């Protein structure tokens, strides 16, 4: 039998080592689904294509290779858009393959026709439509090369149905670049010797240097080298949300997450630093606060694989285009040991005087206390996914992530609905245990995927902190809109245990449990798929909080909120 465009797509997926794809079939991609049947590639049938994008992201965020999702033309493709934008913001490698109406009908407003490439082009690293069957193999190979090369990101390949059906002949593995495709030939650039010498010089002259790491340090595999570097150079360190897990949370010189919800000491140490060694991050506004007031005393060395990030927001005295791992390993070869007793003492002092404070007590209706308990009970191999809201920030504050790729969270786009499908993807990628921490608002955006989870029978536990509100919106309205609550209450209660059970997922509620903390530990120890419903009060706030637009020194703290404080984070 002669190969078709569809069978070539599948053959190239196999060649790229793809074992699982997520998606939904429809008229315009049925030839691909037909070819999939005989391929040995497992398919996850989602209940909404957005979830296919997030499942693929979950696989990619855990495994590092591009995740693959499939959708039909028109509504299938439009439903993928949010997951593509999300992958772009967090630099996650993703290959989306969409069906398209037959070539002869393109541009005629045919049934389920959308100009998919035009729609996604501003959001993806690359998008192309394949017009000839001879070009299919090269387009798929290019998609993987671009998605995974350089700074990772999403790529979309749009394949009209007649191209999927066409017989291929012999000219299959065409090569060459498509017009407009980014050139990632230099996928993992190493820093020059001159740049490294300058960094060593900057470090030797600095009195108060600080290492700041982001998602690029995590995804490039720079963690081991950076951990050695901070010890050898006695460098205090901090990270962005996407950089959690890169550095050792037990290291007393590691100050954890900076920015809008970082510990006060973290933002204050950054404020005093005279040298910022920033590796694999993009100076996002949630991290920097008011840019003009961010690290005002520090010279900046900025290392990023993407040249467009250098100087985009923060001017660096020393901008270095390099892969974070290559940079860290080469720097380690050259950087001597250093002792910085005065700076270490000052950091320890700020840490002791301005720790992260949490509300007093042990109240089973307090999401913070429940998450603290969950953090202690967590098996070390657990991968944690979150949705977006207060619970997301509490997870970032409370769980000491010990390795990169252990926290999967929608950092840049902040997409509610991410957590459950990302957890499914993480489990599919082989994470031994997966915990999805979510809120009642977020879970409802992709709750239909409970059914997908049940079908797959994966070891995923969902911890649902149900405050009957869009909690973070409620918090912002309480703090910055004089308590005028507009559309932040979910007035119609949902019976989440019944919802989970109706879709085949075991559900359990802490409501009415005699010993809720013990019940939570017990529930977390059981295998999934499982939903643990925790009813919580809405009054707790994520603090500290830098008011939007404010400088990172202007933190609203728990004490300012008049709360009784008993627990102090180390
Ligand atoms: C798709 C999407 N729509 C809207 C928002 C704006 N938003 C941010 S947090 C939030 C509330 C989240 O509520 P919930 O999931 O219950 O979490 P909680 O804050 O209560 O922990 C909203 C609506 C968003 N981030 N994503």
User: Residues 167-224: pLDDT tens digits?
Assistant: 987 544 545 556 566 666 567 899 999 999 999 999 999 999 999 999 999 999 999 9
Find the mean pLDDT for residues 498-526: 97
| Ligand 1 atom index nearest CA of 475 | 19
Q: Is the dihedral of CA 253, 254, 256, 258 positive or negative?
A: positive
Whether 389 lines ligand 1, by a CB cut-off of 6 Å, is: yes
State the virtual CA torsion across 498, 499, 504, 510 in degrees, nearest 10: -50
Structure tokens at 248: 């050792």
Using CA atoms, how far residue 459 sits from 60, 102, 451, 506, in Å, is 18, 41, 14, 12
Q: Distance between CA atoms of 9 and 63, rounded to whole angstroms?
A: 22
Residue 454, classed as helix, strand or coil, is: helix
Of 335, 288, 90, 405, the residue nearest 191 (C-alpha):
335
Residue 302, classed as helix, strand or coil, is: strand
pLDDT at 475 over 60: yes
pTM for the full model? 0.97
Tell which one of 389, 490, 537 to mutate to probe ligand 1, the residue whose CB is within 8 A of the most ligand atoms: 389
Cα atoms in the Cβ-side hemisphere of radius 13 Å centred on 424: 31
Mean pLDDT of the chain: 95
Task: Using the structure block, give the residue that is written with the tokens 């959708």.
Answer: 71
Tell which one of 385, 388, 418 to mutate to probe ligand 1, the residue whose CB is within 8 A of the most ligand atoms: 388
Using CA atoms, how far residue 308 sits from 91, 235, 321, in Å, is 14, 27, 9
**142 upstream amide cis, omega within 30 of 0:** no
pLDDT at 513 over 80: yes
Whether 442 lines ligand 1, by a CB cut-off of 6 Å, is: yes
Q: Distance between CA atoms of 16 and 12, rounded to whole angstroms?
A: 6
pLDDT at 312: 98
State the virtual CA torsion across 146, 149, 150, 155 in degrees, nearest 10: 30
pLDDT at 558: 83
Which carries the bigger pLDDT value, residue 145 or residue 187? 145
Q: Distance between CA atoms of 381 and 434, rounded to whole angstroms?
A: 9
Residue 52, classed as helix, strand or coil, is: helix
- Distance separating the N- and C-terminal Cα atoms of the chain: 66
Residue % of the chain over a pLDDT of 90: 93
User: Residues 329-357: pLDDT tens digits?
Assistant: 999 999 999 999 999 999 999 999 999 99
Would strands 357-359 and 565-568 be described as parallel, antiparallel, or unpaired? antiparallel
Q: Determine contact, residues 425/452, Cβ cutoff 8 Å.
A: no
Closest protein CA for atom 23 of ligand 1:
470
Task: Using the structure block, give the residue that is written with the tokens 């996604």.
Answer: 120
| E strand map for 293-419 | 299-304, 318-321, 357-359, 382-386, 407-408
pLDDT at 561: 61
What separation in Å is there between the alpha carbon of 486 and the centre of ligand 1? 14
Residue ranges in 149-192 assigned as alpha helix (H): 161-165
pLDDT at 183: 63
pLDDT at 181: 65
Collect all residues with Cβ–Cβ distance below 8 Å to 210 and sequence separation of at least 6.
Answer: 235, 236, 237, 238, 269, 270, 273, 275, 276, 277, 298
What is the phi/psi pair of residue 248, to 5°?
A: -75, 115
Find the mean pLDDT for residues 60-76: 98
Using CA atoms, how far residue 446 sits from 24, 54, 82, 218, 339, in Å, is 15, 10, 12, 27, 51
Q: Determine contact, residues 377/520, Cβ cutoff 8 Å.
A: yes
DSSP string, 60-97: HHHHSSPEEEEE-STHHHHHHHHHHHHHHHTT--EEEE
Strand partners, 357: 568
Structure tokens at 521: 């530990």
User: Residues 367-381: pLDDT tens digits?
Assistant: 999 999 999 999 999
Find the mean pLDDT for residues 471-494: 97
pLDDT at 559: 74
What separation in Å is there between the alpha carbon of 387 and the centre of ligand 1? 8
User: Residues 262-320: pLDDT tens digits?
Assistant: 999 999 999 999 999 999 999 999 999 999 999 999 999 999 999 999 999 999 999 99
pLDDT at 348: 97
Find the mean pLDDT for residues 102-131: 98
Cα 292-297-303 angle, rounded to 5 deg: 80
Q: Which of 103-107, 445-449, 494-498, 562-566 has the least mean pLDDT? A: 562-566
Closest protein CA for atom 4 of ligand 1:
416
Collect all residues with Cβ–Cβ distance below 8 Å to 140 and sequence separation of at least 6.
Answer: 8, 9, 12, 13, 16, 95, 97, 157
What separation in Å is there between the alpha carbon of 541 and the centre of ligand 1? 14
Of 441, 445, 434, the residue nearest 531 (C-alpha):
434
pLDDT at 570: 42
Whether 473 lines ligand 1, by a CB cut-off of 6 Å, is: yes
Q: Determine contact, residues 549/294, Cβ cutoff 8 Å.
A: no
Q: Is the dihedral of CA 370, 372, 376, 378 positive or negative?
A: positive
pLDDT at 182: 67
pLDDT at 560: 66
């Amino acid at each position: 039998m002669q190969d078709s465009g569809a069978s070539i797509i599948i053959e190239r997926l196999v060649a790229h080592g793809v074992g699982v794809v997520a998606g939904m079939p429809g008229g315009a991609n049925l030839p691909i689904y037909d070819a999939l049947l005989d391929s040995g590639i497992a398919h996850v049938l989602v209940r909404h294509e957005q979830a296919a994008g997030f499942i693929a992201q979950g696989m990619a965020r855990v495994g590092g290779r591009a995740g693959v999702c499939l959708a039909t033309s028109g509504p299938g493709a439009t439903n993928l858009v949010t997951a593509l934008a999300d992958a772009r913001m967090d630099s996650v490698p993703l290959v989306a393959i969409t069906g398209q109406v037959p070539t002869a009908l393109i541009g005629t407003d045919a049934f389920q026709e959308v100009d998919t490439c035009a729609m996604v082009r501003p959001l993806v690293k690359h998008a192309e439509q394949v017009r000839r069957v001879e070009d299919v193999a090269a387009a798929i190979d290019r998609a993987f090369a671009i998605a995974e090369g350089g700074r990772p990101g999403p790529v979309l390949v749009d394949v009209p149905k007649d191209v999927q059906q066409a017989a291929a002949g012999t000219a299959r593995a065409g090569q060459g670049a498509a017009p407009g495709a980014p050139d990632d030939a230099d996928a993992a650039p190493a820093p020059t010797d001159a740049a490294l010498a300058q960094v060593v010089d900057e470090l030797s002259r600095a009195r108060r240097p600080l290492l700041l790491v982001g998602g690029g340090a995590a995804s490039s595999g720079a963690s081991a080298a950076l951990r050695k570097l901070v010890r050898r150079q006695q460098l205090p360190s901090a990270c962005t949300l996407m950089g959690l897990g890169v550095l050792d949370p037990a290291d007393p010189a590691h100050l954890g997450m900076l920015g809008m919800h970082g510990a006060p000491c973290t933002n204050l140490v950054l404020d005093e630093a005279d040298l910022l060694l920033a590796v694999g991050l993009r100076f996002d506004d949630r991290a920097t606060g008011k840019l003009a007031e961010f690290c005002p005393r520090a010279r900046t060395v900025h290392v990023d694989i993407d040249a467009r990030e250098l100087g985009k927001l923060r001017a660096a005295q020393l901008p270095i285009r390099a892969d974070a791992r290559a940079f860290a390993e080469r720097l380690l070869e050259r950087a001597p040991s250093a002792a910085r007793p005065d700076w270490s003492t000052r950091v320890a002092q700020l840490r002791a005087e301005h720790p992260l404070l949490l509300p007093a007590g042990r109240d089973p209706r307090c999401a913070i206390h429940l998450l603290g308990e969950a953090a202690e009970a967590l098996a070390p191999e657990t991968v944690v996914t979150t949705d977006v809201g207060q619970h997301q920030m509490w997870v970032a504050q409370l769980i000491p992530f010990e390795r990169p790729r252990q926290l999967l969270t929608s950092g840049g786009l902040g997409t509610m609905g991410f957590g459950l499908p990302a957890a499914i993807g993480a489990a599919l990628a082989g994470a031994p245990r997966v915990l999805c921490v979510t809120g009642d608002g977020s879970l409802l955006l992709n709750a239909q995927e409970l059914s997908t989870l049940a079908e797959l029978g994966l070891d995923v536990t969902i911890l649902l902190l149900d405050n009957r509100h869009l909690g973070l919106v409620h918090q912002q309205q309480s703090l910055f809109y004089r308590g005028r609550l507009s559309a932040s209450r979910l007035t119609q209660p949902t019976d989440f245990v019944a919802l989970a059970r109706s879709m085949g997922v075991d559900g359990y509620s802490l409501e009415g449990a005699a010993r809720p903390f013990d019940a939570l530990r017990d529930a977390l120890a059981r295998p999934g798929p499982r939903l643990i419903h925790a009813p919580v009060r809405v009054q707790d706030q994520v603090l500290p909080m830098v008011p939007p637009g404010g400088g990172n020194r202007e933190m609203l703290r728990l004490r300012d909120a008049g709360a009784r404080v008993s627990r102090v984070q180390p």
